[in-house]
């Protein structure tokens, strides 16, 4: 089963929504790669996800701070999210492709739950505030830059560009 972004998942900001669409596409691909049990491909796929997650976390921080949201709790949640993913990545790499089909299902469900929780539990509380701003709100700039950033994020995964450098949240 694939994760699909729907309007119900919108948090009220074009850049964040675009990032989430991108992350959902990456998560769907990781689920596919886990099914292949190719541990070096799995490792690469996680590196790609962590890099984009980092870009996303920075975008969220920038937007939240400019929107006068208390970012400290989001920062903690981001840190925890990243640790959860890194734990899963380490577990998968250590197993070197040797796991059962039911374990594949388990990992797949874990990733879907992780993504859903990130959007619905961590980010959704920002929505009431973000909805008071323009959908194309982006700190210190006009709508055209927000459009550009949102469009760039949406296209990056499709274009298979380089993996961003993973960061420490």
What the block records as the tokens of 139 is 């700190």
Residue 31's Cβ-count burial label (10 Å; 0-12, 13-18, 19+) is buried
Which DSSP state fits 133?
Answer: S
Q: Pick the binder of Fe ion from 10, 13, 42, 123 (CB under 5 A).
A: 123
Cβ proximity to Fe ion: between 42 and 115 the closer is 115
- Taking the C-alpha atoms of residue 12 and residue 14, their distance in angstroms, rounded to an integer, is 7
Cβ proximity to Fe ion: between 19 and 46 the closer is 19
Work out whether 17 is an interface residue with Fe ion (CB under 5 A).
no
- Taking the C-alpha atoms of residue 116 and residue 36, their distance in angstroms, rounded to an integer, is 24
3-state secondary structure of 10: coil
Please report how close the Cβ of residue 64 comes to Fe ion at its closest, in angstroms.
10
Residue with the shortest CB distance to Fe ion: 123
Interface segment toward Fe ion; rule CB under 5 A; list 24-32, 88-96, 98-106, 123-131? 123-131
Cβ proximity to Fe ion: between 83 and 95 the closer is 83
Please report how close the Cβ of residue 50 comes to Fe ion at its closest, in angstroms.
14
Please report how close the Cβ of residue 147 comes to Fe ion at its closest, in angstroms.
19
DSSP string, 85-112: HHHHHHHHHHHTT---HHHHHHHHHHHH
Please report how close the Cβ of residue 26 comes to Fe ion at its closest, in angstroms.
13
- Taking the C-alpha atoms of residue 47 and residue 42, their distance in angstroms, rounded to an integer, is 9
- What does the binding site for Fe ion look like in residue numbers (CB under 5 A)? 123
């Amino acid at each position: 089963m694939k994760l699909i972004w729907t309007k119900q998942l919108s948090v009220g900001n074009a850049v964040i929504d675009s990032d989430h669409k991108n992350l959902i596409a990456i998560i769907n691909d990781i689920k596919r790669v886990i099914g292949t049990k190719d541990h070096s491909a799995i490792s690469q796929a996680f590196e790609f996800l962590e890099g984009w997650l980092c870009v996303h976390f920075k975008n969220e921080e920038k937007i939240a701070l400019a929107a006068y949201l208390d970012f400290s709790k989001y920062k903690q949640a981001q840190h925890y999210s990243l640790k959860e993913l890194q734990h899963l990545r380490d577990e998968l790499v250590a197993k070197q492709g040797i796991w059962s089909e039911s374990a594949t299902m388990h990992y797949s469900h874990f990733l879907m739950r992780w993504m859903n929780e990130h959007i619905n539990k961590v980010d959704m509380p920002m929505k009431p505030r973000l909805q008071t701003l323009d959908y194309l709100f982006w700190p210190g700039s006009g709508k055209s830059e927000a459009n550009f950033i949102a469009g760039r994020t949406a296209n990056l995964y499709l274009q298979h560009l380089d993996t961003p450098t993973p960061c420490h949240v």
